[in-house]
Amino acid sequence: MARIDVKGDIITNDYGWIYELFEWDCIYPKKVMDIIEASAPDEPLDVYINSGGGIVSAGQEIYSTLLSHKKRVNIHIEGLAASAASIIAMAGPSEISPVGMVMIHNVSGGAHGDYHAMEKSAEVLKQYNAALCAAYCAKTGKKLDAMLTLMDRETWLTADQAVKMGFVDRIMETKPEQMVASEFGIRLTQADIERAMDIKAKREAKANEDRSRKESIMSDLDKYGV
């Protein structure tokens, strides 16, 4: 079994190293692909989800990767599958913990500029909603308008409701796992990025200093024929 943990924030590849530097839970498309490529050809993929979501484009890419891959994909919702994580949860046969939840809502974003820019941003967000709705419709068999209405209301579903509405196939028979707190969106701020870059620069400087010291010692040893 190849295990993929969708825990914490769903982020783009560019932010992966920062989250891993801080030891924050995260998942990103390249990490998923690396796990798939490292697994045996006939090995199924088991995806364990407990995430409040994150960056929409990253969630779309992970969903598409799982959906299009030849391996069998099994989805296990251990806690929360919300926002972008709920899209990933639609990528295969699924089960949910008795205490698990699914949440779907409209895509959010920001814009700068005049009223034309604002109108354009609103239209793009609506198109994003329709694009993500395709995953819900494919899984549940429900029509687009019905799914868009649920997204517009920010709909929270218990395990029973998620199964009855077709978002999940069945409820787990195992013991329920402990619920944990979860944030929506990603926690990464500009200050975090700057802090990570500073840590990285210091580590690289120390590595270069250690390398120079080693080279100097080796040079002295050669000089004196040691």
Q: pLDDT value at position 179?
A: 46
Position 41 scores a pLDDT of: 86
| Domain membership of residue 222 as a residue range | 189-226
Instruction: Say if residue 196 is in the same domain as residue 182.
Output: no
The pLDDT of residue 185 is: 58
Considering the domain architecture, whether residues 96 and 27 belong to the same structural domain is answered as: yes
Catalytic: which of 51, 86, 97, 105? 105
Indicate if 83 belongs to the active site.
Answer: yes
> Is 99 found in the same domain as 128?
yes
Q: What pLDDT, on the 0 to 100 scale, is given for residue 183?
A: 45
**Whether residues 44 and 130 fall in one domain:** yes
- Contacts of 73-76 with CB under 8 Å at 24 or more apart are 73/44, 73/45, 73/47, 74/44, 74/45, 74/46, 74/47, 75/47, 75/49, 75/168, 76/46, 76/47, 76/48, 76/49, 76/172
- Own/partner contacts of 123-132, CB < 8 Å, gap of 24 or more, are 128/56, 131/60, 132/56, 132/60, 132/87, 132/107
Q: Do 177 and 197 sit in the same domain of this protein?
A: no
Read off the tokens for 194.
Answer: 């700057």
Strands 155-158 and 101-104: antiparallel
Q: At what angle do helices 29-38 and 56-68 cross, to 10 degrees?
A: 20
Q: What is the pTM of this model?
A: 0.76
pLDDT for 223 equals 63
**Whether residues 42 and 142 fall in one domain:** yes
Residues 158 and 195 in one domain: no
Q: Give residue 39's Cα distance to chain centre.
A: 20
Query: Measured on CA atoms in the order 20, 23, 27, 31, is the torsion positive or negative?
Result: positive
**Residue 76 known to be catalytic:** no
Identify residue 192 by its one-letter amino acid code: D
Total number of domains constituting the chain:
2
Residue of 51, 83, 94, 97 marked catalytic? 83
User: In this structure, are 120 and 203 located in the same domain?
Assistant: no
- Same domain, yes or no: 64 and 124: yes
Q: Is the separation of the CB atoms in 21 and 199 below 8 Å?
A: yes
Residues in the chain, overall count: 226
Residues of the chain with pLDDT under 50: 176-183
In the chain, what are the helix, strand and coil shares in percent, each to the nearest 5?
50, 20, 30
Residue-level pLDDT at 128: 81
Residue 14: which CATH number?
A: 3.90.226.10
- Identify whether the C-beta of residue 5 lies closer than 8 Å to the C-beta of residue 23: no
Q: Are residues 70 and 182 in the same domain?
A: yes
- Looking at the structure, do residues 109 and 141 belong to the same domain, yes or no? yes
Nearest alpha-carbon partner for 104 in 61, 168, 29: 168
* 129 shares its domain with 222: no
